[in-house]
Structure 1
Amino acid sequence: MKSFHQTTFLFLLIFAISFSVFSQKDNNSSGDYIYKKGDFNGIGKWYLGREIAYVMGYEGINWLERSTREKEENTSKLIKNMNIKSTDIIADIGAGSGYHAFKMAPLCKSGYVYAVDIQPEMLNAILKNPKFEKYTNIELVEGDEKSVNLPKNTFDKVLMVDVYHEFSYPKEMILSIRKALKENGKIYLIEYRMEDKSVPIKKLHKMSEKQAVKELQAAGFKLDENISNLPWQHCMVFSKQ
């Protein structure tokens, strides 16, 4: 039998989650989002037919920095796919522990990598990494649920690795990114392939090419190509229409 304190804590937890969801409903006057019960790993909020997944907290840093990541995702090939130039200004949205930012920084020596995350703990992990002092062209930016908080018309490339599907406000975030991109800028959207059942990732943390195109087209982007050389992930390249 649960103790009184356990029962009370559980009630308060459910109340807090429900209050958060209903608060989001109240703030969504444009009607872009639908709220209904869904997957256990989802937040009960849907955009263009897709349920949004929970954000992976900073407690998952060890997963981001796992020793098997290069083999599983071929991150070196992903970076090559981006064809980074020495003068590029790049935004790493949902940078997490800086895994990709630290790989890109030495390639754009005369440019910058803006590491953006909504969790201060993630940005602090980058700050404490010895590589941060080595690469002086990494800027840390704290974003929020609706904006990447980046300067307009500045970025040559935007990288999003396994993060877009967790945006609580995907429409607002993509429009924010669009403003930050130069006219000829590119988005590199990396998501685990929904089409491949052998990819050992929870369903809500995958995306299909069809769904990604649907959502980014709604924000004025077109798919230039989907580079299919990564083991588990799509490497979708979008530009402004």
Structure 2
Amino acid sequence: IGKFYMGREIAHVMGYGFNGAGARWLERAEREREEKLTLMVRSLKLQPGQTVADIGCGSGVVTALLARTVGLEGRVMGVDVQLQMLARLKLRMKKFRIPNVTAVRGTQKSPKLKAGSIDLAIMVDVYHEFEFPHEMMKEIAKTLKPGGRVAFVEYRMEDPRVPILLVHKMTEKQVKKEISQKPFGLKFKQTIGVLPRQHIVIFEKPAGDKKAGDKKAESGSAGRR
């Protein structure tokens, strides 16, 4: 788009496309073989009952896998800025009888989710397309519960064999540089390297000093005796 952020060019958004061509590309049968989506979701080690935000969910291919993983007691928020993608997401969830997904229309600067409500926010080949990455990440960080995680799944720029345009790739170093900024309040947790083309870079919102909180509570109790 001709815009740069922290030394990299921001890519064009993967659009719905003419007659849904963009959505169909996301849904292509070869994608599981090429990107190992099932392995990706498994590697996140989600727990039943958790709440997940699939930001930039598109037509919901990954959303469906996440929803089945957290189970009926869990919830997945499928967030996208494109109404056509969200309409296709809803149809997909209805077709496969997946009831625990909520479609949310976000904006270029916010996912429009409740603060402190998310156990995991995931962006699959999405973050590098954010037109306003700083503003968006500040808002995403707010949505996380204490101890909540955010996962960036990006094509590895370090590997020239990955058949994707450079503007749609990110190095692990670049992801860390951008997400480690103080305003976000996130800490690097790990990079998972099990996928053939992408790395999964995970940051975490610190849970806080529980011991200090316990001491404060004990102090308050002592004062009431």
- What TM-score does the superposition give when structure 2 sets the normalisation length? 0.86
Report what 1:15 is aligned to: none
Report what 2:80 is aligned to: 117
Paired with 1:132 and 1:113, the residues of 2 have a C-alpha distance of 17
Report what 1:54 is aligned to: 12
Report what 2:222 is aligned to: none
Report what 1:65 is aligned to: 27
Paired with 1:234 and 1:228, the residues of 2 have a C-alpha distance of 5
Paired with 1:110 and 1:237, the residues of 2 have a C-alpha distance of 24
Question: Displacement of 1:237 after TM fit?
Answer: 1.0
Report what 1:223 is aligned to: 188
Report what 1:239 is aligned to: 204
Report what 1:86 is aligned to: 48
Secondary structure of the corresponding residue to residue 174 of structure 1 = helix
5 Å-filtered alignment, 1:129-140, equals 129=92, 131=94, 134-140=97-103
For 2:172, which of 209, 214, 218 is the aligned residue? 209
* Matching residue's letter, 1:62: R
Deviating 4+ runs (over 6 angstroms): none
Question: Displacement of 1:131 after TM fit?
Answer: 3.9
Q: Is the 8 A contact 1:53 1:165 kept in 2?
A: yes
Question: Displacement of 1:51 after TM fit?
Answer: 1.0
Deviations along 1:28-66, one digit per CA (max 9) or x if unpaired, are xxxxxxxxxxxxxxx111111111011111121111011
List runs of 5+ in structure 2 lacking aligned partners: 207-225
Report what 2:131 is aligned to: 168
Question: Displacement of 1:136 after TM fit?
Answer: 1.3
5 Å-filtered alignment, 1:162-201, equals 162-201=125-164
For 2:67, which of 105, 110, 114 is the aligned residue? 105
Q: Is the 8 A contact 1:189 1:237 kept in 2?
A: yes
Report what 2:212 is aligned to: none
- What TM-score does the superposition give when structure 1 sets the normalisation length? 0.80
Secondary structure of the corresponding residue to residue 58 of structure 1 = coil
Deviations along 1:149-202, one digit per CA (max 9) or x if unpaired, are 000000000110000000000001111100000010001110000000000000
Q: 1:132 to 1:157 in 2, by over 3 A?
A: farther
Secondary structure of the corresponding residue to residue 60 of structure 2 = coil
| Matched length | 199
Percent sequence identity is 44
Paired with 1:130 and 1:160, the residues of 2 have a C-alpha distance of 19
Paired with 1:135 and 1:220, the residues of 2 have a C-alpha distance of 34
List runs of 5+ in structure 1 lacking aligned partners: 1-42
